[in-house]
Amino acid sequence: MRDIFAGPPDEMSMHGRNDNLELLKAWAGTSLAFAIYIMRGQVFNSQFFYVLTIAALTCGIGFLLHELAHRVVARNFGAQAHFVAHNGWLLISIGVAFLGIFIAAPGAVWHRGYLTPRQGGLIALAGPVTNLVLAVGFLLMSMVATPGDAIFGVRLLDLARIGYGINAWLGLFNMIPAGPFDGAKVLAWDWRVFAVTVGIALLLTFGIRV
């Protein structure tokens, strides 16, 4: 999803930026905001770093792969594509997380170049579909993991439950058919693809519980 309140960066604003580092910054900020949101602001709780690890591997990874999918597909079509983190929104997302509100608007992939409506739609679709695929992956994890299974001290069932919920929601949220959301571009390209994607996202978000 693109930042709602900013236009695409010009060449001067991109000069000297490494968009991989921009992605890393946005991943870290989003993970921190999500962990604070889950813990209801209790950052000194003994469980906070455990939750932060889960946040980084679920919401953070979901965001990171969402934006990378946009970038990969755009570049595959020959467009110039860069991720730019929005420092202001990262700070806002961390601040409002203490109020029990989660906002995921850490930045966006901007692309330039001639694109057909189909190519633009596929670039937009790549992000939400990535989240929905991740949600299915976490759903499958929840089916095979046992209560004692863990990796690096993180219980797989905790990882699966949170990873499924946040990625299903991110996939659905980004399919809003208005404004800067991915759904608006997908709908402008092909309403059938839009309808199927939203239907799957609704099923995963509200029809299946982990």
83-111 pLDDT per residue, tens: 999 999 999 999 999 999 998 888 888 88
CA dist 130 and 138 (Å) reads 12
Per-residue confidence at 112, pLDDT binned at 50, 70, 90? confident
pLDDT, position 30: 96
Per-residue confidence at 70, pLDDT binned at 50, 70, 90? very high
Q: What CA dihedral angle connects 173, 178, 184 and 190, to 10 degrees?
A: 110
Length, in residues, of the chain: 210
Per-residue confidence at 4, pLDDT binned at 50, 70, 90? very low
Active site residues: 67
CA dist 183 and 177 (Å) reads 4
Give the CA distances from residue 185 to residues 54, 189, 194, in Å, rounded to whole numbers and listed in that order. 31, 6, 9
Query: Do the Cβ atoms of 104 and 174 come closer than 8 Å?
Result: no
Whether this prediction's pTM lies above 0.95 is answered by no
Nearest to 157 by CA among 134, 175, 140, 132: 140
Phi-psi group of 16: left, alpha or beta (phi > 0 → left; psi -120 to 50 → alpha; rest → beta): left
pLDDT, position 11: 46
